[in-house]
Amino acid sequence: MSTKKLWGGRFTGATDPLMDQFNESIHFDRRMFKADIMGSQAYVKALCKRHILTADEARTLDQGLSAVQAEWEAGTFTIKAGDEDIHTANERRLGELVGSVAGKLHTGRSRNDQVATDMRLWLRDAARELVELTRDLVRSTVERAEAEMDVLMPGYTHLQRAQPIRWSHFLLSYAWNWQQDTQRLEQLIERFNVLPLGAGALAGNPFEVDREFLARELGFRDVIPNSLVAVGDRDFVSEFLFWCSLTMMHVSRIAEDLITYSSSEFGYVSLADAYSTGSSLMPQKKNPDSLELLRGKSGRVFGSLSGFLMTVKGLPSTYNKDLQEDKEPMFDAYDTLHGCLQILTRVIATLKINPDRMRQSLSPDMLATDLAEYLVRKGVPFRETHHISGAAVRMAEERQVPLSSLTVADLQTLHTSFADDVSAVWDYERSIDNRSSIGGTSRKTVEAQIAALQKWLA
């Protein structure tokens, strides 16, 4: 094989070595070697079908491509000067192994449709791995929720204690987020699993290669019906980066909750030593570094999305070299999610909870809404009962006593419907199990959520 650049036929002057370095992408797109070879092997078959390759030539190329892949997998592939990208490197090595017949492989094909195909093949496998990791996270969270059903804790709005809930209900709120994240990624895989190969540089393939055959060979559900879109579209990268950002937002939010709950001021949870670190100065410290890193890495992923959108927003149609900037954010976001999902799964599986501390944080004022609802059941309109309950809260505050310490006589000064049965209001389990409509925090509804997620996981 010639050492000339694939695109160098019309050039006579030498390229600045700095430009060569600036232009190359092999140092990061080499991880697509398997996808690149898979696409090339399918293309060999398509060329053979069009009698551009003989059966013997096709066999030689297929075996040569398998040998190149084996070198990558064994770690023996040597990148040489002039290997701009994974496509150039593979074709150069193929020529060294099988000779001049390697030059027929690129017939009718451009690196434009080749790279678009490689990226979709690579991302399809990568995204399927993330689907499984996200499902593992849901599974671990559901198992914990089922095992700790009886643990009660304050629920918060505005980070102020609001109403009592089950710890399981809190965990499941994130399990549902991650279930939706999983579904979104599965839908995204279905959407981007369409074939660019056969679009040429931009105008189509002049040798009538069977693109539907290529799609079947490579496991795509269909072909991209417009060659300009095939080479220039990177919406699937944007969507993937958005998916990563949204999923990391959910990761970051539970990390923030658990960081707060693990502080001495709360003391609801304690991270396993395996996912904590100490201070270089203060021996007593146990820092939730795993959670802080999860929270911090969300910003990294958000940055990949915003940066890539800025790259593509002003591009003219079809392929432009700017699109070489599509792979590093995609790879980095994948790597980040791949690590974060596993760490969070293990953090949730191993953290210890302090049920007594959670219960001690419940206070009668959190049942003020229940006091209003007591009067609703007596036939008083809720807008009235809300004000009456608020007056009771103010009375307790002025007397500096818990809300539950107000006597029936005290409450009757606010409304005559109060009776001795009002004492039943001051029961946290009863309050929680009153929230029994679908999605509520009662035992029945939490069990239903667990059953639904378990069915989905199965």
Single-letter amino acid code for the residue at 16: D
**Any idea what DSSP says for residue 437?**
S
The first and second tokens of residue 170, run together, are 């809190």
Cα angle 272, 276, 277; round to 5? 145
Q: What is the enclosing helix (H) or strand (E) of 124? A: helix 111-147
Closest by CA to 292, choosing from 344, 242, 238, is: 344
Residue 315 sits at φ, ψ, to 5 deg, of -75, 140
- Burial (0-12, 13-18, 19+ Cβ within 10 Å), 411: buried
DSSP annotation of 161 reads E
Return the closest-CA partner of residue 289 out of 299, 298, 279: 279
- Between 289-312 and 235-262, two packed helices, what is the crossing angle to 10 degrees? 160
Conformation bin of residue 457: beta by default, left when phi > 0, alpha when psi is -120 to 50: alpha
Q: Which helix (H) or strand (E) holds 152?
A: strand 152-157
CA gap 95, 111 in Å, rounded: 17
Type of residue found at 252: S
Q: Which residues are catalytic?
A: 158, 279
Structure tokens at 380: 């008083």
Contact (Cβ atoms closer than 8 angstroms) between residue 113 and residue 197? yes
